[in-house]
């Protein structure tokens, strides 16, 4: 019987960590002699494209679903709601992740590595080190880019000393100045000018489910919150349409100021849950979240807590 290629992918609406960690994991597994292919579950965003251009790399192949029995490696996610269509029937062989574990189960044993660090690439960096596997410049750039992206240049509360140390060591290998490169890369991701409101709310959007309460938290990075709010009405309409189509109870769009590390949020749907969670009124569909930049640490768990 022909052996199937193992597919490696990150979450839907892939971010820089999902794409870069898939590519790095592909290299890691190939070094170990496995037959693997990094793929992606959605469009490459502009920040990630900056990284690919820097390395003169093309994006992984786009897939929309996985077949029954397809062996897969999940990076940067585990929740089935954020994974490939058909994931329930796939054979999950490995998970490398830094998120909460939820909406996840397998029938077979697997390798599962979760660490509460700021980025999946930091875990991959440790895996290379543990095996004394050489890190080449390409993989160094991919990993440091993912770390800069997920930690917003170390400013996110999700950032740990391990992320920072890994990034500094990788920058040494890649011969890159972290601040200069990092700010350019983050800025590339803040160019939202040619997106429709529908595209904007889907650039980096995740669904969470608690019982029968379904909520969506999307995030966009910007250097100027007011610029994004110029299209507030159109964005709200897109959010409302999304909620109707998807049956969501609540939709939060975080507009994150990467220079000052705050987020303005547009909140639609069951705003009382949001108000309870943050002890803060939603006025004109807006609530300013001082010092909030992390969906994973500062938004999703706060809402989930308020629901229980
Ligand atoms: Mg991610
Ligand atoms: Mg990540
Ligand atoms: Mg992210």
CA of 217 to the centre of ligand 1 (A): 13
In the predicted model, is pLDDT for residue 204 greater than 70? Answer: yes
Q: How far is the CA of 15 from the centre of ligand 3 (A)?
A: 6
How would residue 43 be classed by pLDDT, with cut points 50, 70 and 90? very high
Cα torsion 108, 111, 115, 121: sign: negative
What are the backbone angles phi and psi of residue 60, rounded to the nearest 5°? -60, 160
Residue range 5-22: mean pLDDT, rounded: 97
Question: What pLDDT shows up at residue 194?
Answer: 87
Ligand that lies nearest to the alpha carbon of residue 219, given by its number in the listed order: 3
Distance 42 CA to ligand 1 centre (A): 12
Distance 2 CA to ligand 2 centre (A): 33
Tell me the C-alpha distance between 42 and 35, whole Å. 23
Q: Return the domain boundaries, the chain.
A: 6-187, 197-306
Q: How far is ligand 1, taken at its centre, from the CA of residue 212, in Å?
A: 24
Q: Which of 50, 57, 6, 16 is nearest to 143 (CA)?
A: 16
Question: Hey, what CATH class is 6-187 in?
Answer: alpha beta
End-to-end CA gap in the chain: 49
Task: Note whether 59 and 40 are within 8 A (CB).
Answer: yes
Q: What is the pLDDT of residues 86-99, one digit of tens each?
A: 999 999 999 999 99
Local confidence band at 1 (pLDDT 50, 70, 90 cut-offs):
very low
Does residue 257 surpass a pLDDT of 80? yes
Q: What is the mean pLDDT of the chain?
A: 96
pLDDT at 148 over 70: yes
To the question of pTM greater than 0.85 for the whole model, the response is: yes
What's the CA-to-centroid distance between 23 and ligand 1, angstroms?
Answer: 14
CA 75 to centroid of ligand 3, rounded, Å: 13
Q: Is the distance from CB of 152 to CB of 118 less than 8 angstroms?
A: no
178: left (phi over 0), alpha (psi -120 to 50) or beta: alpha
In the reported structure, the alpha carbon of residue 113 is separated from the centroid of ligand 2 by a whole-number distance in angstroms of 14
Residue 3, pLDDT score: 60
Per-residue pLDDT, averaged over 162-188, amounts to 97
pLDDT exceeds 70 at position 141:
yes
- Mean local confidence (pLDDT), 186-192: 93
Q: What tokens does 272 get?
A: 């009382």
Ligand nearest to the Cα of 119, by number: 2
Contact 295, 206 (CB under 8 A): yes
3 vs 216 pLDDT, higher one: 216
Looking at the CA of 143, name the nearest ligand: 2
Whether the predicted pLDDT of 173 surpasses 60: yes
DSSP letters, 91-123, are EEEEEEE-S---S---SS--EEEE--SS-HHHH
Q: Which ligand is nearest to the CA of 98?
A: 2
Q: Convert the pLDDT of each residue in 226-244 to its tens digit.
A: 999 999 999 999 999 999 9
Ligand 3 centroid to Cα of residue 64, in Å, is 21
What CATH architecture does domain 197-306 belong to?
Roll (3.10)
* Span from the CA of 228 to the centroid of ligand 1 (angstroms): 22
As a whole number, mean pLDDT of residues 22-51 equals: 97
């Amino acid at each position: 019987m022909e052996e199937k290629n193992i597919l490696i992918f990150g979450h839907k609406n892939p971010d820089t960590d999902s794409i870069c960690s898939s590519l790095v994991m592909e290299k890691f597994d190939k070094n170990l002699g496995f037959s693997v292919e990094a793929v992606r579950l959605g469009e490459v965003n502009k920040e990630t494209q900056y990284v690919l251009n820097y390395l003169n790399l093309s994006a992984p192949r786009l897939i929309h679903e996985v077949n029954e029995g397809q062996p897969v490696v999940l990076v940067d996610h585990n929740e089935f709601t954020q994974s490939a269509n058909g994931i329930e029937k796939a054979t999950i062989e490995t998970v490398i992740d830094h998120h909460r574990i939820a909406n996840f189960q397998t029938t077979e044993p697997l390798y599962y590595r979760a660490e509460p660090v700021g980025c999946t690439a930091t875990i991959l960096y440790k895996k290379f080190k543990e095996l004394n596997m050489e890190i080449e410049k390409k993989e160094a750039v991919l990993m440091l880019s993912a770390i800069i992206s997920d930690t917003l240049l170390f400013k996110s509360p999700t950032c740990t000393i391990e992320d920072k140390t890994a990034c500094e060591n990788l920058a040494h290998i890649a011969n890159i100045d972290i601040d200069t490169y990092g700010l350019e890369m983050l800025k590339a991701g803040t160019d939202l000018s040619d997106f429709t409101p529908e595209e904007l709310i889907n650039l980096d959007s995740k669904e969470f489910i608690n019982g029968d309460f379904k909520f969506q938290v999307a995030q966009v990075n910007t250097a100027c919150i007011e610029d994004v709010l110029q299209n507030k009405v159109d964005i709200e309409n897109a959010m409302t349409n999304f909620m109707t189509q998807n049956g969501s109870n609540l939709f939060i769009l975080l507009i994150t100021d990467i220079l000052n590390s705050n987020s303005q949020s547009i909140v639609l749907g069951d705003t009382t849950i949001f108000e309870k969670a943050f002890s803060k009124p939603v006025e004109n569909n807006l609530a300013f979240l001082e010092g909030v930049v992390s969906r994973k640490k500062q938004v999703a768990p706060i809402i989930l807590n308020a629901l229980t």
